[in-house]
Amino acid sequence: MAEIDLKSTSQAQLRSGCPLWGRTGQRPVFRPLDDHLKVDVLVIGGGVTGALMGQHFTERGLLVAIVDREQPGLGSTAASTAMLQWEIDKTLAELEQFYGYERAAGIYRRSAAAVSGLAKLIAGHRIDCAFRPGQSLFLTSNQEGARDLRTEAALRERAGLPSRYLEHCDLFTEFEIDRDAGILSRGSAEADPLLLTWALLDLAFRQYARLVDASVTTLNSEGNRVTAETDGPFLIEAKTAVLATGYTMPGIDMPKLHRATSSWAMATVPQTDGTLWRDQALIWEDSHPYLYMRTTADGRIVAGGEDDETTDPSARDAKAPEKIMAIREKMKRLWPQADTTVATAWCGTFGETVDGLPLIGPVPSLPHVYGAYGYGGNGITFSYLATQMIGAMVSGGYREWFDDFAMDRDGPGGATRELAQRDVEMVGR
């Protein structure tokens, strides 16, 4: 069976179809190197993670290079449905089972702080990316799920999180949604991920970041510096390097915590006035496979899910018609008023971890090199969290909670990963 080689994965393998984003934006220009380059921070990857990272470090006055071997933003970022949520793929109750209440509640609070930090960043720089703060609605369609959601809502209340349990009749009267129960939460948002990425790259560029069109093939860490070999004749030397290569984890043995899956999404034609649900909350269901829905500024419904373990890009693409049909049917059952006519559809590789948490922090055995891998449905929330954590780490700051997201952490039940090598090999384009 063919599998994605994550070392050499191209954007075309990571996603296909035609996402909705970036139609009004300008893609920043990345230029090839014409000499060796010396910077404070080298960011490898120009998707949303690399863009956030680059903007963060340039704002701190550091000299930054952001390198991408293909089109910035057109990897997984362009496939994202960009629901900016603090609710993690694993519920607080599940995380409590894994790691105990205090640690689980701390993780949830940091996720909530990350969404509000991202909102402040966007507002502070007046980034034009269709950003809209809002609420999210987590639904269940059976009695057992309703009991679980009640427990979940109580745990969230104890953790000080802004969630409220809704019984069937509340859901129906407040949202006209016919499900057994739900949790309504404040503090989430939505955006156009491509406009966000390009605007952040532009901000970094204006603060003197170099936007470099190259493939980093090898990273060496020696003494106090990291040297990147590229597919051209030039080297980039940096005090710190950040891997923001998305679902391509370069040359590092894949942590056992992590696995690749596939996900499918579509956008409808704009809905006629008055046919969207109240407040256009972000909606997600606890069904297997799950369904999620959001809306766009021009009144479309974006829906996705149907994840499965397909990893081969052509098998993933071949499944698209049947997956999009399933998403449309589920959408219609949940919101019968929807016009489910497909305007555009797409699919992509998706990365998950067993505990639903990202992999952020020092790459073991490779001094001064950090990984920023925001896996799961909260990928972008976690990318922002990564900028805060790696930003602190580079300044010598350390907090005990950083270990919750460490690349070499033990997963639930002691599921460990294997990461051990000095040089990170990356395969060129």
Q: Output the smallest distance, CB 20 to ligand FAD, in A.
A: 12
Among candidate residues 105, 23, 32, the one with its CA nearest the CA of residue 67: 32
Residue closer to ligand FAD (CB basis): 39 or 146: 39
Please tell me whether residue 185 binds ligand FAD under the rule CB under 6 A.
no
Please tell me whether residue 77 binds ligand FAD under the rule CB under 6 A.
yes
| Window 237-266: residues binding ligand FAD (CB under 6 A) | 244-246, 248, 250, 263, 265
Q: Which of 304, 313, 361, 391 binds ligand FAD (CB under 6 A)?
A: 304
Residue closer to ligand FAD (CB basis): 151 or 388: 388
| Window 82-111: residues binding ligand FAD (CB under 6 A) | 82-83
Residue closer to ligand FAD (CB basis): 95 or 146: 95
- Cα separations in angstroms, 174 against 134, 137, 184, 293, 360: 16, 12, 11, 18, 39
Residue closer to ligand FAD (CB basis): 179 or 316: 316
Q: Output the smallest distance, CB 102 to ligand FAD, in A.
A: 25
Please tell me whether residue 380 binds ligand FAD under the rule CB under 6 A.
yes
Among candidate residues 343, 182, 208, the one with its CA nearest the CA of residue 269: 343
**Site size toward ligand FAD, by CB under 6 A:** 42
Alpha helices in 10-100 (DSSP H): 11-14, 48-59, 76-79, 92-99
**Cα three-residue angle 121-207-361, rounded to 5 degrees:** 60
Q: What is the largest CA-CA distance in the chain?
A: 66
Q: Which of 6, 39, 64, 67 binds ligand FAD (CB under 6 A)?
A: 67
Q: Which residue is nearest to ligand FAD (CB)?
A: 379
Q: Which of 4, 30, 70, 252 binds ligand FAD (CB under 6 A)?
A: 70
Look at the block and give the residue holding tokens 């990202």: 358
Residue closer to ligand FAD (CB basis): 45 or 411: 45
Between CA 33 and CA 313 the distance in angstroms is: 31
Tokens representing 292 are 């999620």
Tokens representing 262 are 């596939």
Residue closer to ligand FAD (CB basis): 44 or 92: 44
Please tell me whether residue 215 binds ligand FAD under the rule CB under 6 A.
yes
Choose the stretch contacting ligand FAD; rule: CB under 6 A; options: 20-28, 81-89, 335-343, 411-419.
Answer: 81-89
Q: Which of 81, 163, 271, 296 binds ligand FAD (CB under 6 A)?
A: 81
| Window 331-350: residues binding ligand FAD (CB under 6 A) | 348, 350
Please tell me whether residue 310 binds ligand FAD under the rule CB under 6 A.
no
Among candidate residues 157, 165, 197, 211, the one with its CA nearest the CA of residue 184: 165
Return the axis-axis angle of helices 101-124 and 92-99, rounded to nearest 10°.
Answer: 130
Q: Which of 55, 76, 91, 240 binds ligand FAD (CB under 6 A)?
A: 76
Instruction: Identify residue 315 by its one-letter amino acid code.
Output: A
Cα Rg, the chain, nearest whole Å? 21
Q: What is the DSSP letter of 30?
A: P
Residue 286 sits at φ, ψ, to 5 deg, of -85, 20
Q: Positive or negative, the Cα torsion across 384, 386, 387, 389?
A: positive
Long-range interactions of 165-168: CB distance < 8 A, separation 24+:
none
Q: Which of 374, 389, 394, 417 binds ligand FAD (CB under 6 A)?
A: 374
**Cα three-residue angle 370-66-26, rounded to 5 degrees:** 135
Residue closer to ligand FAD (CB basis): 81 or 268: 81
Q: Output the smallest distance, CB 48 to ligand FAD, in A.
A: 5
**The pairing of beta strand 216-222 with beta strand 424-425:** antiparallel
Distance of CA 308 to the CA centre of its chain: 18
| Window 13-32: residues binding ligand FAD (CB under 6 A) | 14
For residue 384, the SS3 value is: helix
**What residues form DSSP beta bridges with 167?**
181
Q: Which of 4, 20, 39, 44 binds ligand FAD (CB under 6 A)?
A: 44
Q: Output the smallest distance, CB 139 to ligand FAD, in A.
A: 16
- Our CA dihedral for 309, 312, 315, 320, rounded to 10 degrees, sits at 70
Residue closer to ligand FAD (CB basis): 166 or 266: 266
Q: Which of 145, 187, 379, 391 binds ligand FAD (CB under 6 A)?
A: 379
Interface with ligand FAD (CB under 6 A): 11, 14, 44-50, 67-70, 72, 75-77, 79-83, 215-216, 244-246, 248, 250, 263, 265, 304, 348, 350, 374, 377-381, 383, 426
